[in-house]
Structure 1
Amino acid sequence: MPDTADSRELSELPLEELVACHECDLLLRRPHLVDGERAECPRCGYELFSYRHQVVTRSLALVIAALLLYVPANFLPIMQLNLLGQTTHDTVWTGVLALYESGMGEVAVLVFLCSMGIPLLKLLCQLCVLLSIRWDIGRSYGLLIYRIYQHMREWGMLEVYLMSTLVAIVKLVDLADVSLGIGLACFVGLLLAQIWLEVTMSPHQIWEALSGEREDGLARD
């Protein structure tokens, strides 16, 4: 814990030069990192942030891959169900339609937003932010879009939808002939791409690039 002199010195620094640990709330001077370095809290050891290499290039590749997987993941069959001589091909979209047609409109809207609408909006927001940094245009709009993206992060629940789908498949195996479709593989790929993107797209580097606090070739990596 910093002593009185250190606390007085920190209080005299501008806010942009300070960072607080998310675990123990220790106030620290913001370190200036280079590629591959990471900053840890000296009190609890929590990783404050790390400076990753080629953030924009790698994130753009993942965003494009996720967008390419989005359509087949939601509109190609996740599973084929054969029950009493009747065969159905179930997709995420047909699941939403089935809920709506059965009179559960509110549930259908919620499933659509969490499994299709918001994940797509998140990807489009990330694409706009990354292109804003890459092409060095519209940084102010990029800041606004990135703030919107931060508010939507908790609403995209692809992993919950995937788990519910897997549970349904396990329960249906004993009742009918179930075959897995290519849509399920695309859906898993989309989920993995989004998780990898969350890890790769370092928030503090994105904020710094959008605000112009630090370039260090980030827009050109």
Structure 2
Amino acid sequence: MPNPVDPEVLAQLPLDELVACHECDLLLRKPPLQHDEKALCPRCGYELYAHRHNVVNRSLALVLTALLLYIPANFLPIMQLHLLGQTSDDTVWSGVLGLYNSQMHLIAVVVFLCSMAIPLLKLLCQLLVLLSIRLNIGRSYGLLCYRIYHHLREWGMLEVYFMGVLVAIVKLVDLAQLTVGLGLFCFISLLLVQVWLEVVMSPHQIWVALSGEDVHAGD
């Protein structure tokens, strides 16, 4: 945990040696970190940044896993509904089409963007960022993609859609026979992989690596 430094001393330090807490705005001198260490704000306890091991390779593995899970999570049946002799397979995509065909066009567009389009765009941005670092090419495009990714973070709402699926299952279980499909397990796996990716892909290390300062980003 970094110690507060006298304001007069801070004023004389270069900007790349300073870090501000995102929660309480306390300005601190960056402490040197070893692998798997993290810096915490001494005032509020917020994690300022971390130095995680082998960030780029681990993040690449998770991004590729998430991309492989994307298609089955969205196009395989999440649940099978049996009612009055009728059977229907419900997927994320069929839910979007159902809303659109029910004349709820705006809601269908919002669901499509938040549950399918934006999560995919986020993964593609992360992939391009990591490849630009791993292959040491196109760092300027990597910076652009990472900025786009940060603007999209609040719009990808897989967890909200997942909660909607759980609510639907609870409400329908007494009205019809439900069978959980493989798509639900893929969807849950995709959600967990993305959460894990958020933890592993240390923003501080990625920004430093994209700026060309960190030659050990893949360590």
Q: If the length of structure 2 is used for normalisation, what is the TM-score? A: 0.95
Q: Report how many residues are paired.
A: 217
CA RMSD of aligned residues (A): 1.3
| Aligned mates of 2:151, 2:192 — CA distance in 1 | 21
| Aligned counterpart, 1:24 | 24
| C-alpha distance in structure 2 between counterparts of 1:141 and 1:45, whole Å | 34
State the one-letter code of the partner of 1:207. W
Residues 67 and 123 in structure 2, CA contact (< 8 A), matched pair in contact too: yes
Q: State the distance in 1 between where 2:94 and 2:26 align.
A: 50
Partner of 1:176: 176
The one-letter amino acid of 1:16's match is D
Give the whole-Å Cα distance in 1 for the aligned partners of 2:42 and 2:196: 28
Counterpart CA distance in 1 for 2:117 and 2:23 is: 33
Q: Which runs of 5+ in 1 are unaligned?
A: none
Corresponding position of 2:102? 102
Task: Please state if 1:147 is matched with 2:147.
Answer: yes
The Cα shift of 1:44 comes to 3.1
The aligned residue for residue 43 of structure 2 is 43
Q: d(CA) in 1 for partners of 2:89 and 2:213?
A: 51
Indicate whether 1:61 and 2:61 are aligned. Answer: yes
Report deviation, 1:46: 2.7
The 4+ residue runs of structure 1 with deviation greater than 4 A are none
Query: Whose helix fraction is larger, Structure 1's or Structure 2's?
Result: 1
By how many angstroms is 1:30 displaced? 1.5
Q: CA deviation at 1:83?
A: 0.6
Give the match for residue 217 of structure 2: 218
- Give CA-to-partner distance per residue, 1:92-140, whole Å, 9 cap, x none: 0011001101101111000000000000000000000000000000001
Shift in Å, 1:32: 2.5
Residue 155 of structure 1 aligns to a residue whose secondary structure is: coil
Deviation of the 1:207 alpha carbon: 0.1
Tell me how far apart the structure 2 counterparts of residues 166 and 41 of structure 1 sit (CA, whole Å): 37
Return the alpha-carbon distance in structure 1 between the equivalents of residues 134 and 111 of structure 2.
Answer: 34
State the alpha-carbon separation in 2 of the partners of residues 155 and 43 from structure 1. 30
Given the alignment of the two structures, is residue 10 of structure 1 paired with residue 10 of structure 2, yes or no? Answer: yes
How far has the Cα of 1:214 moved from its partner?
2.3
